[in-house]
């Protein structure tokens, strides 16, 4: 797999492909970043972008992880002390997921976002941004979109300025971050700063096949006990022969296959015996064709996900101790 293939695999959108190719053709190591609001547990949704950061490091990028504690505070996710503690936990999780410590820079929002020069840029962007545009940009990240606080309107403006202040070439985020990234691409050049290339990952469904939400408990935390992972996977929505909005097939596609070269689905001989896959498309074809039973898929998914997340459970256990 060449550098471009590695960068774009499992991405939903690149803005723009030509700009990305130019970035890869340039000299040195381009900088990519993801900003994580430090508001709670790190789960499989966060892990999707972490997987992409690992791909980018393998493709020659240096990676910046913004632990956005001030963003979390503005979005009503806790006191400054609480969100800073959550940021420390986030850092441990992302390192345990496999980011290269030599190529990863962790930055806390409160370390630079309260400096006068940063605040001036946010205020300058506020002068250039209509209230409606700010509202549209924050809808996906606001806890109370029906009656947002002014602080939540500031959130997307800060996120755009982050990209400039962190000297980012490539901004990575879920597709729900698209409006904020487009704001950055349009407004930063007006302020004399370069527009970033943007890479968006898809939003995977929760274990019930609906939108993933921590409040609904339909996700898996990366430091979750193995026995809980198994229980959740075995109870998950997984309709036979259907891959759309199927959390089990999505876990294989986005979390297991990028990390495991070969997957063995164990089955009794009377049901066809074990079957081995090196590519997700082959597994997907068998599942759609009825060759693979949902229960066999769930058992395999639980086995591999538990193994992949073992370093996180170990590191967080030591960190808490």
Indicate the burial class of 50 (C-beta count within 10 angstroms; 0-12, 13-18, 19 or more).
buried
Out of 1.10.599.10, 3.40.109.10, 3.40.30.10, 1.10.240.10, select the CATH number for domain 214-320.
Answer: 1.10.240.10
β-bridge mates for residue 198, sequence order: 15, 171
What's the whole-model pTM score? 0.93
Say what the pLDDT of residue 59 is.
95
3-201 folds as Rossmann fold (3.40.50)
* 3-201 and 214-320, same CATH topology: no
Say what the pLDDT of residue 133 is.
85
Q: At CA 308, angle to CA 306 and CA 312, rounded to 5?
A: 90
* pLDDT tens for each residue of the chain, 321 residues long: 799 999 999 999 999 999 999 999 988 899 999 999 998 899 999 999 999 999 999 999 999 999 999 999 988 899 999 999 999 999 999 999 999 998 999 999 999 999 999 999 999 999 998 888 888 887 666 545 567 778 778 888 999 999 999 999 999 999 999 999 999 999 999 999 999 999 999 999 999 999 887 777 899 999 999 999 999 999 999 999 999 999 999 999 999 999 999 999 999 998 889 999 999 999 999 999 999 999 999 999 999 999 999 999 999 999 998
Say what the pLDDT of residue 226 is.
97
* Domain definitions of the chain by residue range: 3-201, 214-320
Say what the pLDDT of residue 148 is.
74
CB 151 within 8 A of CB 157: no
Say what the pLDDT of residue 142 is.
58
């Amino acid at each position: 797999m060449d550098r471009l293939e590695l960068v774009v695999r499992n991405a939903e959108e690149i803005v723009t492909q030509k700009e990305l190719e130019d970035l890869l053709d340039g000299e040195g190591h381009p900088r990519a970043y993801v900003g994580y609001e430090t508001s709670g547990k790190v789960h499989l949704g966060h892990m999707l972008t972490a997987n992409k950061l690992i791909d980018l490091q393998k493709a020659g990028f240096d990676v910046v992880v913004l632990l956005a504690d001030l963003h979390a505070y503005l979005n009503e996710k806790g006191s400054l002390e609480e969100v800073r503690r959550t940021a420390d936990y986030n850092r441990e999780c992302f390192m345990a997921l496999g980011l290269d410590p030599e190529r990863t820079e962790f930055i806390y929002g409160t370390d630079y976002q309260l400096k006068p020069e940063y605040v001036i840029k946010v205020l300058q962007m506020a002068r250039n941004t209509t209230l409606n545009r700010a509202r549209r940009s924050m809808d996906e990240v606001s806890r109370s979109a029906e009656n947002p606080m002014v602080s939540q309107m500031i959130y997307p403006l800060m996120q755009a300025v982050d990209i400039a202040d962190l000297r980012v070439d490539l901004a990575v985020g879920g597709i729900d971050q698209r409006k904020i990234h487009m704001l950055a691409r349009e407004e930063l050049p007006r302020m004399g700063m370069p527009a970033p290339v943007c890479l968006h990952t898809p939003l995977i469904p929760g274990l019930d096949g609906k939108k993933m939400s921590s409040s609904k408990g339909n996700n898996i935390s990366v430091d979750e006990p193995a026995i809980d992972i198994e229980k959740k996977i075995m109870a998950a929505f997984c309709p036979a022969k259907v891959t759309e909005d199927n959390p089990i097939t999505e876990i294989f596609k986005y979390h297991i296959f990028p990390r495991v070269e070969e997957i063995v689905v164990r089955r009794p001989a009377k049901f066809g015996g074990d079957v081995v896959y090196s590519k997700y498309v082959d597994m997907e074809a068998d599942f759609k064709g009825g060759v693979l039973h949902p229960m066999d898929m769930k058992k395999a998914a639980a086995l591999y996900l538990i193994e992949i997340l073992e370093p996180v459970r170990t590191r967080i256990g030591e960190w808490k101790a």
